[in-house]
């Protein structure tokens, strides 16, 4: 089966009206439970954008371990194609929950050096796991097919890096 090319000006996604796109989605999700349909049903026709979304991600090598702790997309935003961003956010917060509980029990939070060491350890694991997920999410079609069983035909186009400034440098 030939994969369809959405960049082709004759592709249905290029020629269909927003109303036609909405109708098609509503038909496709017709069999889903109401709580999963709700987000689509409440999207108005004027909420359907004609242009494609440009996804950017974040690949951080290191973070300061001081008064700010990052979790989730703030540290490892990724494309949604593997559906993993929320999962890693959850892992971050579960790990941090354990860390805080441990710091409280042992009263380690009173020792700034111990707190820094613990947060440095959290940052290292979180960034390593996050970076891997960010990289994997750029190439989902290498190991995956779409939910319709067809190869994903999206092509990643590397964009130039954006400069990231963390706060104003005063922590």
- Least Cβ distance, residue 88 to ligand FAD (angstroms): 7
Contacts of ligand FAD in 45-84 (CB under 6 A): 72-74, 80, 83-84
Describe the crossing of helices 85-105 and 112-138 by its angle, rounded to 10 degrees: 170
Q: Which is nearer to ligand FAD, 82 or 108 (CB)?
A: 82
- Least Cβ distance, residue 61 to ligand FAD (angstroms): 19
DSSP annotation string for 34-62: HHHHHHHHTS-GGG--SSPPPP-----S-
State the DSSP code for 81.
G
Q: Which one of 5, 41, 86, 121 is in contact with ligand FAD (CB under 6 A)?
A: 86
Q: Which is nearer to ligand FAD, 15 or 135 (CB)?
A: 135
- Is position 87 an interface residue for ligand FAD (rule: CB under 6 A)? yes
- Least Cβ distance, residue 108 to ligand FAD (angstroms): 26
- In sequence order, which residues have a C-beta less than 8 Å from that of residue 102 and are 6 or more positions away? 108, 118
- Is position 136 an interface residue for ligand FAD (rule: CB under 6 A)? no
How far CA 125 is from CA of 54, 58, 102, 104, in Å, comes to 28, 16, 17, 21
Q: Which one of 16, 64, 89, 138 is in contact with ligand FAD (CB under 6 A)?
A: 89
In the three-class reduction of DSSP (H, G, I as helix; E, B as strand; rest coil), residue 113 is classed as helix
- Comparing CA positions, the residue from 61, 69, 38 lying closest to residue 127 is 61
Q: Which is nearer to ligand FAD, 65 or 140 (CB)?
A: 140
Give how many residues touch ligand FAD by CB under 6 A.
10
Which spans of this chain sit near ligand FAD (rule: CB under 6 A)? 72-74, 80, 83-87, 89
């Amino acid at each position: 089966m030939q994969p369809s090319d959405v960049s082709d000006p004759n592709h249905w996604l290029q020629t269909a009206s927003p109303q036609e796109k909405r109708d098609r989605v509503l038909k496709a999700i017709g069999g889903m439970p109401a709580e999963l349909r709700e987000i689509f049903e409440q999207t108005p026709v004027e909420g359907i954008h004609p242009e494609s979304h440009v996804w950017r991600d974040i690949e951080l090598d290191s973070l300061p371990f001081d008064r700010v702790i990052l979790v989730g997309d703030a540290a490892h935003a990724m494309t949604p194609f593997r559906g993993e961003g929320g999962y890693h956010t959850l892992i971050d917060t579960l790990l941090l929950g354990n860390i805080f509980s441990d710091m409280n029990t042992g009263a380690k939070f009173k020792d700034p050096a111990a707190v820094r060491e613990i947060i440095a350890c959290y940052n290292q694991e979180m960034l390593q796991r996050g970076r891997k997920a960010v990289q994997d999410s750029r190439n989902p079609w290498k190991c995956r097919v779409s939910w319709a069983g067809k190869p994903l035909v999206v092509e990643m186009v590397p964009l130039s890096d954006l400069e990231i400034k963390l706060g104003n440098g005063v922590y």
